[in-house]
Chains A and B, each alone.
Chain A
């Protein structure tokens, strides 16, 4: 592995690790706020227990998210100094606002976690809501920074110089809205299904049924609503990518030849040498329709893009297929759940429905990782699309490979410990909150 590849892998690993914790830290406070609200309204002890049990889990995720985020803010410079030297002043606005959001989140979390029975109950509830809102705000802001890398704005690039900088325009670049919307929904869907699945598992085991059913219901509603909206927002993203980054769209679809009435390619093996996809199902005209809202439109293929500006095609394509495939699965499960709620209440405790939710535990997170691979790998070879290439941004320091090995070891062990801790939390629920 050379140092450049190591730097890219280390960045991907750190972000891929952080995103899981960030999503949970962003979404769980809302679940807690609902449970907490119900407790304050109805006085049913079980809702208080749900809130408390969740808040313990969140504290673990929050701190892990915070340290991995701290690492990221250094890594941007440690690995991509040339990028940061030029990009920092331009896309820094969302990061500086994000700092505020984090701070508020940290303060509110202090009130929330340590404030049980110490404050007016509604003030205490409110601090929990603030944790959620500021977490969401930080997620949106950081995604706006990433969107700037895909769709640079707020400066002029003349003769290798960045002039006429406007940080506000940079923040509200063309891609920020579609990406932020899609990311937010993804966080709700992924966290919602993961939490719902864990409680479904406990319901099936017949432990603390009342507790777990209440928890399941809160998580499942968030998850399913988000999962229904997700493909709609994905469609907005795809149209946006088609406009801004034709190379990425072509790689996502493994669309080699520019053509009218372009077909949507599903499955298949990408052969980057022969410029074709083997054994795939092709639906005529659908890609044209998805990208441009018209099944006759022309879709730019990779043949229109100079070879040295091609992103890695196979990975981008497979990652896109995984994301969309999982999105469809989650959509189907959501529809089943809505039917259950509306017509077939008796299904709620049936093992097959619970099993489906248990199987869905990791789906959202896999889709999130896949989606980010699409975005980031599909942008290659650019770090700032059309402006700066990733190779030109990497640190001159040799030996990044060792740093990559080190961080890999750290992240792998952390993941194991966090999983172990959560397992213990969940196992203890019965003993602590037995009612």
Chain B
């Protein structure tokens, strides 16, 4: 039963990264686009993401609920020691979620629109940045449960070059996912060429940020290289991701929408797999060698069992409905034009 719960947890994080990530990324692309492309990005994105917008962000809530019900120790340790970036991320979520709705539902179009847009694009970048920082803090061995002063307990746990590099990398990944996604959704070949260029830029940016992650890891004495290449799964995942990147680059120029989506999704999944598999079942590495584990620090059996049933039961309802939602809006798109 425990492994069912863990699978759900991983899947929620994975889907949040892919779907939520593409969603954040759309804002990031809008942020870096020149004025004439901004509104194109905005409208395309609203058309395709609008119907599933709420659902994209539910994955985060599912992951959090799984954590606090099934793995309370992990949830509370994070809540205490990475309080500050969690709060920053929450502020980003509030700003982004409300700005998205405000700009699409304000009955009057006037100067307010540009304020909503600005809030939206900046929070689209800030939120995944802090998500990345939070993720980095779980493996950087900087969380010190015995710390006695404010800085070492609540700031050093997350504020370091490795965290910042992972944050930037996450932002780039989101932008990359969104660019790939939008390519399949625009119709004129000019637009398509534009978003292909954006996607290529994002790949380069992600590549550079990925390099920064390794450099920062080295600097912070985090044995990232050993972790990834010390185990065949890690090497395989990263190897597969790199090879598929080459395919992706080629298919981009040939503009095969479905294939490049699959490849991009595959890459990001491989990166997440490499990042999580290496330490499994440990999920938080603490300062001084201790760690929190999904297996040892799970809640009691009774709770895990109930949680697993609730999740299984839930997915019987949710998954078909979600697929039907995505499928029908995908199908109706043709008609709407």
Residues in chain A within 8 A of chain B (CB atoms): 56, 59-60, 62-64, 66-71, 73-78, 81-82, 84-86, 88-90, 92-93, 95-100, 102-111, 113-115, 118-119, 165-168, 395-399, 403, 406, 410, 414, 417, 421, 424-425, 427-428, 432
Contact call B72/A110, Cβ cutoff below 8 A: no
Q: Which residues of the other chain, B, contact A88 by a CB distance below 8 angstroms?
A: 68-69, 72, 75, 299
Choose among A89, A104, A111, A397 the residue that contacts B72 (Cβ–Cβ < 8 A): A89
Q: How many residues of B contact A (CB 8 A)?
A: 64
Known contacts A74-B64, A118-B336, A424-B108; 13 additional CB pairs below 8 A are: A59-B104, A63-B97, A63-B98, A67-B98, A73-B61, A73-B64, A77-B68, A88-B69, A97-B310, A106-B58, A107-B322, A168-B306, A425-B105
B87 touching A59, Cβ below 8 Å: no
A-B contact pairs, 22 of them (CB 8 A): A68-B94, A73-B61, A77-B68, A77-B75, A81-B79, A84-B72, A85-B73, A88-B69, A89-B70, A90-B303, A92-B69, A96-B314, A99-B58, A104-B318, A107-B318, A110-B52, A115-B51, A165-B302, A165-B303, A396-B80, A397-B154, A424-B106
Minimum CB–CB distance for B309 against chain A, Å: 9
Q: Which residues of chain B have C-beta atoms less than 8 A from A113's C-beta?
A: 50-51
The answer to whether A78 and B61 have CB atoms under 8 Å apart is no
Given contacts A77-B75, A421-B102, contact A97 B314 (CB under 8 A): yes
Let me know if B94 and A403 touch, CB within 8 A. no
Write the residues of chain B forming the contact surface with A, with a CB cutoff of 8 angstroms. 50-55, 57-58, 60-62, 64-66, 68-70, 72-73, 75-76, 78-80, 83, 86-87, 90-91, 93-94, 97-98, 100-102, 104-108, 150, 153-154, 299-300, 302-303, 306-307, 310-311, 313-314, 317-318, 321-322, 325, 328-329, 332, 335-336
Known: A60-B105, A68-B94, A111-B51. A395 touches B83 (CB 8 A): yes
Please determine whether B90 and A406 come into contact, CB atoms closer than 8 angstroms.
Answer: no
Least distance between A37 CB and chain B CB atoms (Å): 22
CB–CB B314/A410 < 8 A: no
Note all chain B residues with C-beta closer than 8 A to A424. Answer: 106-108
Q: Which residues of B contact A425 (CB under 8 A)?
A: 105, 107
A107 in contact with B321 given A74-B64, A85-B72, A96-B69 (CB within 8 Å): yes
Interface SS of chain A: helix, strand, loop or mixed?
Answer: helix
Neighbouring B residues of A111 by C-beta, 8 Å? 51, 325, 328
Q: Could you tell me if B51 and A110 are in contact, using CB atoms closer than 8 angstroms?
A: yes
Contact B108 A428 (CB under 8 A): yes
B57 touches A70 (CB 8 A): yes
Q: Is the CB of B61 within 8 A of A414?
A: no
CB-contact partner of A93 in B102, B306, B318, B329, under 8 A = B306
Q: Which 9 A-B pairs have the closest CB atoms?
A: A92-B69, A77-B79, A100-B314, A106-B54, A67-B97, A89-B299, A81-B76, A63-B101, A428-B107
Which residues of A have CB within 8 Å of B325? Answer: 107, 110-111
Question: From A399, which residue of chain B is reached at the shortest CB distance?
Answer: B150
Contacts of B332 in A (CB 8 A): 118
User: Across the interface, which residues of A come within 8 angstroms of B68, CB to CB?
Assistant: 73, 76-77, 84, 88, 92, 95
Q: Is the interface of B mostly helix, strand, loop or mixed?
A: helix
Partner pick for A85 among B76, B83, B98, B150, CB 8 A cutoff = B76
Residues in chain B near residue A105, CB distance under 8 A: 54
Give the complex CA separation of A172 and B196 in angstroms. 55
With A73-B65, A110-B54 in contact, is A421–B105 under 8 Å at CB? yes
Q: Which of A63, A82, A396, A421 has the most CB of B within 10 A?
A: A63
Q: Are B107 and A427 in contact (CB under 8 A)?
A: yes
B84 to chain A, nearest CB (A): 9
Residues of B within 8 A of A78 (CB): 79, 83, 86-87
- Please tell me which one of the listed residues B52, B93, B102, B300 contacts residue A60 in the complex, with CB atoms under 8 A apart: B102
A408 to chain B, nearest CB (A): 13
Complex Cα distance A68/B98, Å? Answer: 10
Distance, CA A76 to CA B322, complexed state (A): 28
